[in-house]
Amino acid sequence: MLQSSRLQLNAARRSGLHRSFANRTSLTARPNYRVTTIRPVTTTSEDDVDTGHITAGPNEGILFFDNVFPLRVQRFMRLPFMSQQKTPRMLNHLLGPNFTGTDPAAVMQRASEKYNISVKPSQTILRLKEGGAYVKFSHDGSVPITEVEKTIKQFLEEENIKPWWSPFRKMRAGIVKGRPWVEDLFRLPTSRIKVEFIPSEPGAEAVELSQEQLYAFFRPYGKLGDIQSQPPDSKIVPRYAYLDFATIPRATMAKNCMHGYTVTQAEGGGSKGTVLRLSYEQKIKAHWIRDWFLNHPRIVIPLVAALVAGITVAVFDPIRTWFIKAHITRSLHLEDNRFYNIVKGFVTDIVPWHHHDDEDTGMEAVWDDRKTNIEQIQTWLMETAETFIIVQGPRGTGKRDLVVNQALKDKKNNLVIDCKPIQEARGDGATISAAAAAVGYRPVFSWMNSISGMIDMAAQGATGVKTGFSETLDSQLTKIFNNTAAALRQIALETRRKEDKDASLADDEWLEAHPERRPVVVIDNFLHKSHEGGIFYDKIADWGARLTTANIAHVVFLTNDVSFSKSLSKALPDRVFRQISLGDCSPEVAKKFVVTHLDADVEDDPRPDDAKPAPPPSKTRDDLAELDTCIDLLGGRLTDLEFLARRIKTGETPTKAVNEIIDQSASEILKMYIFNSDEGDSTRSWTSEQAWLLIKSLAEKGSLKYNEILLSDTYKTRGESVLRALEQAELITIVSGPNGRPSSIKPGKPVYHSAFQRLVEDGVLKAKLDLAILADLTKIETASIEKAEGELKVLAELYRENKQPAKLNGRIEYLMEKVRSSQGKIERWEEEGGVLKGVLRGEF
C-alpha cells in the first residue's frame, strides 16, 4: 500500500499537481479511521487563476476548513517567492495536512463513508495565511448542502480531529455561502472584519444592514466582541460596518464563508439584494499608548517615579560614588600625578624661577608656637574614640591651615567640606549644587528639582494623592551624604589585604581596630550664618555622627561659633567632644611672623649669578623698631598681621600702617554695627545705642563684666540675646568662666580695642551717639512714670471708696518715690543732653 501511494505521488508531481494532496493514504489517521485511497484532486483551475474566485456548478458545493495550518505560517507569506497554495518545502514534512492528519479531502472522504452520504471532493485550494483550505465537492443532489455541512461538523466533533501543533483547538468546517475571493495579496488575517454593503448589480442601491441583522448572519461563526456601524453623518461610500470577533480563527471562518454573500429582499437586503464584501481590518488605535498613560495617572506617575529612582540607583549611584572617591583620593588631579611632578621638577631645575606662596610665608613661627596643638590632633586621629574633634577660634586664627596643612599634611584621603558656600547659596537648587561640588558628587541634576516639584504638584492636583516624583532638599542632601559615606568606607577598606593577620575580621571590626586607616573629614566654617536657619547644619552634624560611630572616618569641625556644643550635642548626646581653642599669637610670635614675611620677598627676587645676595629688610630698615609698639596696638590676629606686613612691604612705616589699619577697622565698625542698624538691616538684633554702649565701655576698660552690662538700663530688654548676636557678628567676644558660664566681655579682635578708642576720641560722633543713648534712657523712664501714674489713678479711686485707706499708703508712697526718682534721672539726662547738643552745634 505504501509503495502504491509513492507511485501515485510521483504521478501527481509529473502532472504538475500539488504534492500535498496527491492520492495516497493519510499516515496519521487515527486507529478508528479506515485506510482509504483518495483520488488525486487539483488545487487550482483556469477559472481560479484568471478571476481569483471559486465557482460551484450544479450539484457542487464548497466547504472551508480551518486549523489546517498554524496561523504563524503567515510570516512566510511575506516572502515574495512563497505561494498561498503550496506549503513551504522546508515545512512540508512537519505541517503538511497529510502528515498532521488534517487533510480536508481525506476528512470529507471518511465522513462520507462513515455516514453513507454521496459526497466526492473534486478540488482543494490551500489558504496558508489563514490557516485553512477550500474543498469543492460534488454530490448527487439527494442530500441538501446544509445536511452535508451538518454531517461534516458532526464528524469533526465526534472524531475530535486536532493537529499536533494545536492540541486545544479542534478542526472546524463551514459551508461557503458567498463567492470566495482566492487572492494571494499580503493581507494577513485579524480579528476585525470590515463588511461593505455593495449593490448586486450596477445602478442598484445597496441596503446598510443593522447590527441585529449582522449579528444574525455572523454569530454562528464565533463569539462577537463588538459591532460598530458607520456613523450616520459619514459621507464614505460604500457603507460599511466593523465586526470584532473574539479570536482570529473565528474571523477567518466568517470571512471565507460569507464573502460575496447576497442578502435577499426577504433577509433585508432590498429589492435587488445587497452583496457583502468582507476584508480584514487592522485594529489600529491612534495614540493608544499616549492615551493610556494620560488616562491612568495614578498608576503611571508612581511607576515613572519608581523607574527614575531605580535607574538613578542602578546607573548613576555607582558613577557618583566613583567621582567622590576620585575627589577624595585626588586621582584626577594633575598636581598629584607622578609623571607630572617628574616633568615639573626637571623643568624647574632648568628654569631658575621660584615662587613662594605669600600665605605660607612666615607661618613656620606660628606652627612652632602651636606645635602642641598639631601633635594633639595627630594623636587623636590615631585613637579609636567615637567622637568629634573640634577646633574653635575666631576668624583669622589659622584653623584650617593648622588642621589641613599641618596636622594632616602626611595623611592621604582627606575630605574638606566648606560650609560657607553651601549656607550662602540661595534656593534649593543652588544649595544642592554647592553641597555636591564640596564632595565631588556628580552628575547632579539640581535643575530637575524645581521641574519635578511642579510635575508633582500638577500630578497631585490631578490624582488627589502625592506621587513622590519630586525630592525635597532634605532627601537630596541625604542622598549626597549617603553616597559620600559609601565612598569613604570603600576608601578605608581598600588598604585591607588578605595576607594581614586580622584578615578574618569583619569589615566593621577591622575599621574599629585600625583607626589610622580611616579617612579624615574636615568640616570648615561650621555654623557660619547659623542664625539664618536651614537644615544643612543638622544634616551634616548627623552625618558626621554616623561616620564616627560606624568607624568610617574621623570628623574634625572647624568653627568660629562658641556655642557649637548646642548643635553637635544633638547628634552625639552621649559623647564628650575633643576640643582645641585657638587664640591670637603672642607678641613675640607676631613680630617674628611679620619679619619673616618681609625677608621672604628678598629671597624671591631674581639676581645675577655673580651678584651677592641682598641683605634682608630686617637688617637694613630702621623703622622696624616700631614693631613692638605697633603689635601691642594691633594684637596677634594672623589676618591683621599679614595685612600689616603687606603694607610695610609697600614702603609704609609700621606706625603709619597700624594707624591705617585702625582707621579702617573703625570705619568698618561704624558701618556694620552703628549706622542704620535699625532701618538698614532687619536681620540685626541690636540697636545702635546698645552697640555704642559696649564700644564706649570697652574703649575705657578693655574688658567688661558680663552681668554688669546686663544690669544697665540699655540692656534691660533682651539683653543676653543681644550680646549673643553681637558676638556672632564678631564685635565682641564673650569669655566663659568657671562651670562654663559667661564671665566677661572683650573686643571681637585685638585691633578693635584700638579702633574703639579711636571712635571715642571723635567728639562729634561720641556726642551724637551719647545723645541717642540719653534719648533712649529718657524714653524708658518716661514709660515707667506713665505706668506708675496709671496705677496711682487706680489707687486714688480705691482710696475714696475704701473705709481703711491707711493700708494703701505704702504702695502710694512707693510709686510716688519711683516717679520722683525717674523724674530726677530725666532732668539730669536733659542737662547732659544740652551739653552734648552744644558740642554738635559747635564742632564739625
In a domain, 290, yes or no: no
Average pLDDT on 393-417 reads 90
Specify the pLDDT at position 33: 33
Least confident of 100-114, 157-171, 441-455, 580-594: 441-455
Comparing 591 with 348, which gets the higher pLDDT? 591
| Strand-pair partners of 670 | none
Split into its structural domains, the chain has a count of 5
In a domain, 595, yes or no: no
Least confident of 68-72, 114-118, 628-632, 766-770: 68-72
In a domain, 648, yes or no: no
The pLDDT > 70 percentage for the chain reads 80
Least confident of 482-496, 542-556, 786-800: 786-800
The answer on 662 and 548 residing in a single domain is no
The answer on 420 and 507 residing in a single domain is yes
Average pLDDT on 369-375 reads 90
Pairing of strands 732-736, 742-747: antiparallel
Least confident of 335-349, 533-547, 660-674, 829-843: 335-349
Three cell numbers written together for 770:
551719647
Distance CA 458, CA 331 (A): 44
Distance CA 209, CA 276 (A): 10
Q: Report how far Cα 201 is from the mean position of its chain's Cα atoms.
A: 70
Specify the pLDDT at position 14: 35
Least confident of 90-99, 275-284, 785-794, 804-813: 90-99
Specify the pLDDT at position 78: 55
In a domain, 420, yes or no: yes
Q: pLDDT tier at 95 (50, 70, 90 boundaries)?
A: low
Q: pLDDT tier at 456 (50, 70, 90 boundaries)?
A: low
Q: Is 238 helix (H, G, I), strand (E, B) or coil?
A: coil
Q: Is 735 helix (H, G, I), strand (E, B) or coil?
A: strand
Question: Cβ distance 23 to 39 under 8 Å?
Answer: yes
Question: Cβ distance 775 to 686 under 8 Å?
Answer: no
The pLDDT > 90 percentage for the chain reads 35
Question: Is pLDDT at 279 greater than 70 in this prediction?
Answer: yes
pLDDT digits (tens, 9 = 90+) for 713-731: 889 888 898 998 898 888 9
Specify the pLDDT at position 32: 35
Question: Is pLDDT at 739 greater than 90 in this prediction?
Answer: no
Three cell numbers written together for 751:
585691633
Among 156, 153, 107, residue whose Cα is nearest residue 133: 107
The answer on 196 and 161 residing in a single domain is no
The answer on 752 and 787 residing in a single domain is no
How many residues does this entry show for the chain?
844
Question: Cβ distance 665 to 695 under 8 Å?
Answer: no
Average pLDDT on 220-231 reads 93
- Angle (CA) 482-487-488 rounded to 5° is 95
> Angle between the 763-801 and 809-842 helix axes, to the nearest 10 degrees?
160
C-alpha dihedral over 737, 739, 741, 742, to 10 degrees?
10
Specify the pLDDT at position 350: 60
CATH, residue 738: 1.10.10.10
In a domain, 365, yes or no: no
Q: What are phi and psi of 31, to 5 degrees?
A: -60, -30
Question: Is pLDDT at 31 greater than 50 in this prediction?
Answer: no
In a domain, 378, yes or no: no
Q: What are phi and psi of 560, to 5 degrees?
A: -95, -15
The answer on 481 and 342 residing in a single domain is yes
- Angle (CA) 344-350-355 rounded to 5° is 65
Per DSSP, the residues of 342-380 read: HHHHHHHHHS------TTTTTHHHHHHHTHHHHHHHHHH
Specify the pLDDT at position 289: 80
Distance CA 12, CA 23 (A): 8
Q: What share of the chain is helix, strand, coil (3-state, %, to 5)?
A: 55, 10, 35
Question: Is pLDDT at 592 greater than 80 in this prediction?
Answer: yes
Secondary structure of 16-70 in HEC code, one letter for each residue: CCCHHHCCCCCCCCCCCCCCCCCCCCECCCHHHHHHCECCCCCCEEEEEECCCCC
Question: Is pLDDT at 45 greater than 70 in this prediction?
Answer: no
Question: Is pLDDT at 246 greater than 90 in this prediction?
Answer: yes
Q: pLDDT tier at 367 (50, 70, 90 boundaries)?
A: confident
Q: Report how far Cα 398 is from the mean position of its chain's Cα atoms.
A: 38
Least confident of 81-85, 120-124, 238-242: 81-85
Pairing of strands 274-280, 192-199: antiparallel
Annotate 577-607 with b (16+ C-beta within 10 A) or e (fewer): ebebebebbeeebbbbbbbbbbbbebeeeee
Q: pLDDT tier at 664 (50, 70, 90 boundaries)?
A: very high
The answer on 525 and 419 residing in a single domain is yes
Distance CA 437, CA 431 (A): 10
| C-beta atoms surrounding 146 within 10 Å | 10
Specify the pLDDT at position 586: 86
Say if pTM beats, i.e. exceeds, 0.85: no
Three cell numbers written together for 524:
570648615
CATH, residue 221: 3.30.70.330
Specify the pLDDT at position 27: 31
Least confident of 162-176, 219-233, 540-554: 162-176
Least confident of 167-171, 314-318, 682-686: 682-686
Average pLDDT on 265-293 reads 85
Average pLDDT on 454-479 reads 67
The answer on 799 and 828 residing in a single domain is yes
| Strand-pair partners of 12 | none
Specify the pLDDT at position 341: 65
Least confident of 129-138, 363-372, 447-456, 814-823: 447-456
Arithmetic mean of pLDDT over the chain? 81
Q: Which contiguous run of DSSP H or E holds residue 94?
A: helix 92-95
Q: pLDDT tier at 601 (50, 70, 90 boundaries)?
A: low
Which of 581, 604, 619 marks a domain boundary?
Answer: 581
Specify the pLDDT at position 348: 63
Specify the pLDDT at position 486: 93
Specify the pLDDT at position 304: 78
CA distances from residue 458 to 44, 461, 475 in whole angstroms, order as listed: 65, 5, 20
Q: pLDDT tier at 428 (50, 70, 90 boundaries)?
A: confident
Specify the pLDDT at position 410: 85
The answer on 103 and 17 residing in a single domain is yes
Question: Is pLDDT at 1 greater than 50 in this prediction?
Answer: no
Comparing 305 with 823, which gets the higher pLDDT? 823
Secondary structure of 560-615 in HEC code, one letter for each residue: CCCCHHHHHHHHCCCCCCEEEECCCCCHHHHHHHHHHHHHHHHHHCCCCCCCCCCC
The answer on 753 and 771 residing in a single domain is no
pLDDT digits (tens, 9 = 90+) for 489-513: 999 998 888 888 888 888 889 998 8
In a domain, 221, yes or no: yes
The answer on 193 and 182 residing in a single domain is no
Specify the pLDDT at position 263: 94
Amino acid at 319: I
The answer on 577 and 465 residing in a single domain is yes
Per DSSP, the residues of 122-170 read: EEEEEEGGGTEEEEEEEE-SSS-HHHHHHHHHHHHHHHT---TT-TTS-
In a domain, 263, yes or no: yes
Least confident of 36-45, 123-132, 411-420, 690-699: 36-45
Pairing of strands 414-418, 520-526: parallel
Which of 526, 556, 581 marks a domain boundary?
Answer: 581
Amino acid at 229: S
Question: Cβ distance 469 to 449 under 8 Å?
Answer: no
Range of the domain at 771: 767-842
Which of 126, 161, 186 marks a domain boundary?
Answer: 186
The answer on 4 and 26 residing in a single domain is yes
Q: Which residues contact 614 (CB under 8 A, 6 or more apart)?
A: 602, 605, 607
